[in-house]
Amino acid sequence: MSDPVRVPTSPAPAPSHEASDRPPYRAGEALRDVAVCLGVLLVLGVLCAVVWWRLAPTPEFTKFHNGSAMGEDQLSLRFAADAWYSVVAGLAGLLSGAVLAWWRDRDPLLTSLVILLGAGAAGGVMSWVGHQLGPSNPSAALAAAKVGAHVPDELVLSSHTAYLMWPIGALLGALIVLFGRPAVSDT
């Protein structure tokens, strides 16, 4: 004769669906994550504005009898300012997006949205602070300048698409971190 089969009387414990041993995410923690991400991005926007201001070349107008003009070589310097903005903003966006997505990882969707919106704000802050640090509007200086004098142009972006560099870089950095993580298993 064979031994009877024993059936367990209590059910097996259900598998945990949490990715880690952290407690559940609370609204206060979400607000803290939003504040930290926005604060970090805005401070980086100011710091990157200083870098952009130092790296961007300053084109100059030349005063003539009947007005002023900017030669081709000087005009190319104006577009070089856009290029430097794009490089600084793109790198800052890539690094900040990756670091913030890795550091504030409790809610990836919220973090990614805050990083994207904060990166747009950081790009605007970078442009505004850089403009404030650079030379002022050359109109008044040109009016008072003598013929043949060179007057520096203000530091502004010629292309509005350059503003997209920081958000694109930040989103790319966040996606690299989010898709680079191991998959969460249910068991």
Q: Determine the Cα–Cα distance for residues 30 and 69; give it in Å rounded to an integer.
A: 53
Name the region of 22 (left: φ>0; alpha: ψ -120 to 50; beta: rest). Answer: beta
Domain chopping of the chain, boundaries: 44-59+72-180
**How confident is residue 1, by pLDDT bands cut at 50, 70 and 90?**
low
Among 9, 81, 4, 93, CA closest to 44: 93
Separation CA 37–CA 137 (nearest Å) = 34
Q: Which tens digit of pLDDT belongs to each residue from 91-113?
A: 999 999 999 999 877 788 888 99
pLDDT digits (tens, 9 = 90+) for 28-50: 787 888 899 999 999 999 999 99
What beta strand segments (E) does the chain contain? 60-64, 67-69, 150-152
pLDDT-based confidence at residue 20 (cuts at 50, 70, 90)? low
What is the rounded average pLDDT for all residues in the chain? Answer: 84
Q: How far apart are CA 10 and CA 63, in angstroms?
A: 92
Residue 178, phi-psi category: left (phi > 0), alpha (psi -120 to 50), beta (remainder) = alpha
How many Cβ atoms sit within 10 Å of the Cβ of residue 144? 10
